[in-house]
């Protein structure tokens, strides 16, 4: 019987030989070699080796001027992620769906990851022979900054720069999806067993807990994208119409990816606070301001942002929570603070907000702090009506 690992290594060597650029080659030849390699990866009948994954990722990141190669790399890695998930739920417990026991989170370390991070932000280079080409916390943060600049830039962009923007935005979308696919199975099991370790070891927690990540600036970058859904049709006349359309579509997807990332971080914060309450965390988990607190501070400090943020943020549950907490920050607080005092209020309801603002004295007080109370309430009622459309039992 043939050795499967030997077969994989042989396939790997043959495939990587396709893109061996030794010797002088024309750019067209290099393009053809890369496309032949990518087509071979698409047809491979087994899990690719980490070196093959890394080669595809390397073409994506470094060959920004070749839009065809960029799009092909994105599609291949996305398809492989669906076919060979790195983190998933086991189906061994047949009674799990009835609540008898629980599903188990499985992490297949044979499956390649685009990230190379560990808890605390230290790079574990033993995870990959090509770790220099992977994303650590700092590189991921810089990528987000580049995306923010691209999505908020008002100046015209030529065709070459537009291709680079497409590459960066597609890469960011792919990475956020990878983070989500690692987080959701862990979150599912956590709700059953309340085991903080599951989330502590998540890729998302490793990224946001890293000392190398300027977390406050990271959240502010997310807010900037949410508040600036700019039209990227403002390109030079020599730019292809297909590039214009592609930029617009990918920009919209990138906006949703930034929102998704922000929601995942807020969900992680909720779990961590719960774990702290039960004493499941340790000093090694560190302390930082929750993302929701940073969002509220930013919206309170820059009051002009609140309307554009609520226009750009579409997820109903967290949209309502942000509105209610925004009101709560403007409510009078007890003069004595306890060790449990927080910028975020627990169990703030729309009914409590309406009761407070319906009082004439309170209404005058809160209007001095919030420039447009009616606008906030209108957004809150929109969310309530959305929930009601899903289930009349909601209210």
Task: Please write down the long-range contacts of 320-325, taking CB distance under 8 Å and 24 or more positions apart.
Answer: 320/350, 320/380, 320/383, 320/384, 321/292, 322/292, 322/295, 322/296, 323/376, 323/379, 323/380, 323/383, 324/348, 324/349, 324/350, 324/353, 324/380, 325/292, 325/296
Query: DSSP assignment, residue 394?
Result: G
Provide the pLDDT for residue 120.
57
Q: What is the pLDDT of residue 293?
A: 96
First vs last C-alpha separation in the chain:
64
pLDDT of residue 310: 95
Q: What percent of the chain has pLDDT over 90?
A: 49
pLDDT band at 240 (very low <50, low <70, confident <90, very high): low
Tell me what pLDDT residue 25 has.
Answer: 63
Per the listing, tokens 């969900």 go with 267
Position 31 confidence tier, pLDDT thresholds 50, 70, 90: confident
What pLDDT does 92 receive? 57
- Distance of alpha carbon 271 from alpha carbon 5, whole angstroms: 40
pLDDT-derived band at 114, boundaries 50, 70, 90: very high
Q: For residue 149, which of 137, 136, 165, 163 has the smallest C-alpha distance?
A: 165
Residue 71 has φ and ψ, to the nearest 5°, of -65, -40
Residue 79 binned pLDDT confidence (cut-offs 50, 70, 90): very high
Cβ pair 12, 52 in contact under 8 A: yes
* Cβ atoms 228, 259 nearer than 8 A: no
What interhelical angle do 50-62 and 159-193 show, nearest 10?
A: 140
Per-residue pLDDT reduced to its tens digit, 122-135: 544 344 444 556 88
pLDDT interval class at 173 (50, 70, 90): very high
Cα–Cα distance for residue pair 66/388, rounded to 1 Å = 47
Residue 370 — left, alpha, or beta (φ > 0 → left; ψ -120 to 50 → alpha)?
Answer: beta
- Mean pLDDT across 275-300: 92
pLDDT at 22: 59
Contacts 24+ apart (CB under 8 A), 340-345: 342/293, 343/289, 343/293, 343/296, 343/297, 344/290, 344/292, 344/293, 344/296
Q: What is the 8-class DSSP label of residue 127?
A: G
What angle, 0 to 180 degrees and rounded to 10, lies between the N-to-C axes of helices 137-152 and 215-227?
A: 30
Number of residues in the chain: 395
Instruction: Kindly report the average pLDDT of the chain as a whole number.
Output: 83
Using an 8 Å Cβ cutoff, are 60 and 70 in contact? yes
Q: 153: alpha, beta or left, given left = phi > 0 and alpha = psi -120 to 50?
A: beta
DSSP letter (8 states) at residue 107: E
Angle at 34 between CA 172 and CA 178, to 5 degrees: 25
Judge contact between 169 and 150, C-beta under 8 A. Answer: yes
- The stretch 252-272 carries a mean pLDDT of 95
Q: Give 45-66 pLDDT, tens digit per residue.
A: 899 999 999 999 999 988 767 8
| Helix, strand, coil percentages in the chain from 3-state DSSP, rounded to 5 | 65, 5, 30
pLDDT for the residue 345:
63
Q: What is the pLDDT of residue 66?
A: 82
What local confidence, expressed as pLDDT, does residue 233 receive?
Answer: 44
**Mean pLDDT along residues 165-192:** 94
Q: pLDDT band at residue 284, thresholds of 50, 70 and 90?
A: confident
Give 286 or 378, the one with higher predicted confidence: 378
> Which residues on neighbouring strands pair with residue 157, listed in sequence order?
235
Q: Point out the least confidently predicted range of 89-103, 106-120, 151-165, 299-313.
A: 89-103
Measure the CA–CA gap between 34 and 31, rounded to whole angstroms. Answer: 5
Nearest to 299 by CA among 234, 223, 354, 204: 223
pTM: 0.88
Q: What is the pLDDT of residue 141?
A: 92
Q: Residue 106 pairs with which residues in a beta bridge?
A: 88
DSSP-assigned beta bridge partners for residue 225: none
pLDDT at 206 over 90: yes
């Amino acid at each position: 019987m043939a050795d499967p690992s030997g077969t994989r290594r042989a396939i790997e060597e043959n495939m990587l030989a396709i893109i061996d650029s030794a010797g002088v080659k024309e750019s067209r030849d290099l393009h053809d070699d890369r496309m032949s390699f990518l087509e071979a990866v698409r047809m491979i009948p087994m899990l690719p080796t980490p070196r093959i994954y890394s080669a595809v990722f390397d073409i994506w990141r470094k060959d920004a001027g070749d839009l065809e190669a960029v799009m092909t790399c994105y599609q291949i890695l996305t398809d492989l992620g669906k076919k060979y998930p790195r983190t998933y739920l086991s189906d061994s417990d047949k009674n799990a769906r009835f609540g008898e026991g629980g599903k188990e989170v499985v992490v297949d370390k044979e499956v390649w990851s685009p990230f190379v991070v560990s808890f605390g932000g230290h790079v574990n280079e033993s995870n990959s022979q090509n770790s220099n080409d992977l994303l650590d916390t700092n590189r991921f943060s810089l990528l987000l900054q580049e995306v923010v600049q691209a999505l908020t830039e008002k100046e015209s962009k030529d065709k070459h720069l537009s291709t680079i923007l497409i590459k960066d935005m597609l890469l960011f979308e792919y990475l956020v999806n990878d983070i989500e696919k690692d987080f959701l199975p862990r979150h599912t099991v956590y709700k059953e067993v309340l085991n903080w370790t599951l989330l502590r070891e998540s890729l998302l927690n490793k990224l946001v807990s890293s000392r190398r990540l300027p977390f406050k600036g990271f959240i502010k970058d997310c807010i900037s994208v949410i508040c600036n859904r700019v039209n990227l049709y403002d390109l030079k006349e020599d730019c292809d119409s297909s590039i214009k359309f592609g930029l617009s579509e990918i920009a919209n997807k990138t906006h949703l990816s930034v929102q998704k990332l922000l929601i995942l971080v807020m969900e992680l914060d909720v779990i961590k606070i719960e774990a702290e309450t039960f004493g499941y965390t340790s000093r090694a988990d560190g302390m930082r301001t929750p993302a929701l607190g940073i969002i509220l501070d930013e919206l309170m400090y820059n009051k002009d942002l609140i309307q554009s943020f609520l226009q750009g943020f579409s997820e109903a549950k967290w949209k309502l929570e942000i509105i209610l907490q925004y009101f709560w920050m403007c409510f009078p607080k007890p003069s004595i603070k306890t060790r449990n005092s927080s910028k975020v209020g627990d169990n703030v309801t729309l009914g409590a907000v309406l009761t407070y603002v319906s009082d004439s004295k309170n209404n005058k007080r809160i209007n001095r702090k919030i420039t447009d109370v009616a606008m906030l309430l209108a957004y809150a009622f929109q969310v309530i009506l959305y929930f009601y459309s899903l289930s009349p039992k909601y209210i």
